[in-house]
Amino acid sequence: MGDGQRWREETKEEGKRDGGTARKVEFRTLVSSTWNHSSRELDSNPFREESAPKRSSVSSRIRFQHLRLSALQVMSVQNEDDTQLSSHFYGGLLDSIIVDVASECHRTAKLGLDHNLEEEEEEMRLSAQARARVADPSNSGETNNKYVVDIFGQTHPSVASEIFECMNCGRSISAGRFAPHLEKCMGKGRKARLKVTRSTTSAQNHYSRGSPVSTHSSFSNSTSTNRLSNGTPGVAGEEYSNGTYEGP
């Protein structure tokens, strides 16, 4: 009993030093009352001394003590409490893990990293179909027919047929003939060269983007002959037939 009293005195002082939190003092009185109820062998000095090693601070000793005592409380009750307590902690752990899983799933879905949601499935199916078509041995290589079959099953004609306006001369040009047209139109070919030489006096600066013409003359003539022999459709063909291109 004496011990318990001394205990209480000490703790009250400690409480004052700490700024007197009511909670600490109350708890310690609870501890001391439990102390009084416990068995004789525990209510002894040596027990208390050994539990408080070289530490000078009273509060840590007290904390250790109250942990022991509350553990005694645990043990003094039967096993059912124990099971309940451990179930409680197990439930806490499981809840944390469940929240983690839910959060992870939510993040994956929101960031679009999950490839199993509907739209992606459709795309996957299409690409699987395309792959099957490529792997299919009945489709031979590119040289089979005039039209090449690509992995989506689309075919393109070998010459593009869309028609649009040339930004230099304003003519309607077929897309497949646009590059050669630009060569002529912008100063590489003979006709363009004629344009340039006619107005060299004042307009030389304007035609500075045209390539130096003399070195390219033979080249352009030979290529033009080749192109004519292809018999390409469209307006571009007519243009050349109008011009006076002849072999060297």
Q: Which residues bind to another protein, rule: CB under 8 A?
A: 21-23, 26-27, 30, 66-68, 70-75, 82-83, 85-91, 93-106, 109-110, 112, 114, 116-118
CB-nearer residue toward another protein: 48 or 133: 48
Supply 23's token pair.
Answer: 């909670």
Identity of the residue, 6 or 107, whose beta carbon is nearer to another protein in the bound complex: 107
* DSSP per-residue letters across 136-163: -TTS--TTSSSSEE-TTS-EE-SS---E
d(CA 165, CA 84): 85
Work out how close the CB of 19 gets to another protein at its nearest, in angstroms, rounded to a whole number: 11
Q: How far is the CB of 49 from another protein (least distance, A)?
A: 18
Nearer to another protein, 110 or 198 (CB): 110
Residue corresponding to tokens 């408080």: 52
Question: Considering beta carbons, is residue 105 or 134 the nearer one to another protein?
Answer: 105
Q: Based on CB atoms, which residue is closest to another protein, 68 or 227?
A: 68
- Least Cβ distance, residue 21 to another protein (angstroms): 6
Question: Min. distance of Cβ 18 from another protein in angstroms?
Answer: 12
Question: Which runs of consecutive H residues, i.e. helices, occur in the chain?
Answer: 2-17, 22-37, 45-51, 58-76, 79-110, 118-135, 178-185, 190-198, 200-203, 217-230, 235-242
- Nearest approach, Cβ of residue 40 and another protein (Å): 19
14, with CB counted inside 10 A (0-12, 13-18, 19+), is: middle
